[in-house]
Amino acid sequence: MKTMMTQPTPESIRQAAQIIRDGGVVGFPTETVYGLGGDALSGEAAKRIFEAKGRPGDNPLIVHIASLSEIDPLIEGEMPEMARKLAEAYWPGPLTMIMKKSSLIPDEVSAGLKTVGIRLPANETARALIREAGRPIAAPSANRSGRPSPTTAKHVLDDMDGRIPMILDGGASEVGLESTVLDVTGEIPRVLRPGGVTPEMIAAVAGKVEVDGTVMRPLREGERPISPGTKYRHYAPEGDLTIVQGEEKAVAESICGMYDGFEKDAAILALPGHEHLYGVRRVYTLGTDGSVESAAAGLFAALRLLDDEKMAHIFSEAVPADGLGLAVMNRLGRAAAFHIVNV
């Protein structure tokens, strides 16, 4: 199969929507990361998505809609009051809410669960594609299983060339990390995966929020995951990654010490502005301006680059784990198998 990469125009969006209506799969931009989209009401389409991704079939897909009015047929009963308030506040945007699913959602999409994650993305191309397809779109991140999520169309092509017919190139994803996954089936909303809509933002609307314990630690032996995605070893770089946390100068000193123990293939992941702390050592920057937003937007591209350049020993500065920093540290922590050194 030849993979066509093209700018989103009314014509190319119509073409992509036709592929989806015919049961196929396309790469498309969202504000979080690129998605691998197929008909969310078709079990066959879901199977094609799993196949293109190389993903185990027991990890559910999230379902994307283009307007709030499309949600009712997809869920069982009424949307919980708290979910409605959160939708008013943060949709369209990087928030996926887990609710009880209706029988319209095939078991292949929900991976046999009785719930479904639903998201209304902010990206205009994504919404135009859903409208044009005339149905909700199931989409995981468009990486091959085990790779960092793609934040550019080029990343999607690197992973999916020859596996899907078409990629819509909408430029770099603004948020750069996957959406917040929030379970709203209980009394208190529970963050299963942190993202652009932070726990602080959720608490501001819902009054309360819980963050699942697995967000900042690996699953324990025999522990049953609430979100199936957490049981898989997610992206892990080829090299070993160590995160160092503490006061700026102490962090730099510790990283330099560890780095100098290796003769080659060592690299440092640091916030911009910190390069001078590392002298002539090999530094990759996390984002462009030192803000946590920019670190989030640049993280996956930096991890892909470190893999491409075959760095074997990577030492990363930590970012404060509040607000969006929690999502950055969750992804970085998982990439490091939660090997975090406090200094």
Rule CB under 6 A: which residues touch ligand TXA?
A: 30, 32-33, 35, 59-62, 96, 98, 110, 113, 115-117, 119, 139-141, 178-179, 181, 192-193, 227-229
Alpha-carbon distance values, 288 to 174, 294, 298, 319, 328 (Å)? 13, 6, 8, 14, 15
The listed partner (ligand TXA, Mg ion, none) that binds 227, CB under 5 to 8 Å by sort, is ligand TXA
Specify the residue, 191 or 321, whose C-beta has the smaller distance to ligand TXA: 191
The listed partner (ligand TXA, Mg ion, none) that binds 192, CB under 5 to 8 Å by sort, is ligand TXA
Specify the residue, 110 or 245, whose C-beta has the smaller distance to ligand TXA: 110
Contact 182, 189 (CB under 8 A): yes
Specify the residue, 300 or 315, whose C-beta has the smaller distance to Mg ion: 300
The listed partner (Mg ion, ligand TXA, none) that binds 274, CB under 5 to 8 Å by sort, is none
For residue 75, give the nearest of 177, 164, 185 by alpha carbon. Answer: 185
Specify the residue, 141 or 245, whose C-beta has the smaller distance to ligand TXA: 141
Strands 180-183 and 190-193, by their bridges, are antiparallel
Q: Is 266 helix (H, G, I), strand (E, B) or coil?
A: strand
Query: Which strands, in side-by-side order, build the sheet including 240-245?
Result: 283-285, 266-270, 313-317, 240-245, 340-342
Residue nearest to ligand TXA (CB): 229
CB of 37 to Mg ion, least distance (A): 13
CB of 33 to ligand TXA, least distance (A): 5
Q: Which DSSP letter does residue 172 get?
A: S
Specify the residue, 117 or 199, whose C-beta has the smaller distance to ligand TXA: 117
Q: How many CA atoms lie within 13 A of 19 on its CB side?
A: 23
CB of 300 to Mg ion, least distance (A): 10
Q: Which letter, b or e, does each residue of 69-100 get, where b requires 16 or more Cβ atoms within 10 Å of its Cβ?
A: ebbeebbeeebbebbeebbeebbbbbbbbbbe
Q: Which DSSP letter does residue 207 get?
A: S
Contact 192, 183 (CB under 8 A): yes
If binding means CB under 5 A, how many residues of this protein chain bind Mg ion? 1
Specify the residue, 138 or 277, whose C-beta has the smaller distance to Mg ion: 138
Tokens for 316, please give them. 């990363």
- Please give the distance of CA 181 from its chain centroid, rounded to a whole number: 10
The listed partner (Mg ion, ligand TXA, none) that binds 115, CB under 5 to 8 Å by sort, is ligand TXA
Residue nearest to Mg ion (CB): 141
Q: How many Å apart are CA 250 and CA 269, to the nearest integer?
A: 15
CB of 128 to ligand TXA, least distance (A): 15
CB of 324 to Mg ion, least distance (A): 18
Specify the residue, 117 or 325, whose C-beta has the smaller distance to ligand TXA: 117
The listed partner (Mg ion, ligand TXA, none) that binds 198, CB under 5 to 8 Å by sort, is none
Q: Is 141 helix (H, G, I), strand (E, B) or coil?
A: strand
Q: Is 308 helix (H, G, I), strand (E, B) or coil?
A: helix
Rule CB under 5 A: say whether 141 interacts with Mg ion: yes
The listed partner (Mg ion, ligand TXA, none) that binds 62, CB under 5 to 8 Å by sort, is ligand TXA
Specify the residue, 141 or 180, whose C-beta has the smaller distance to Mg ion: 141
Binding region for Mg ion (CB under 5 A): 141
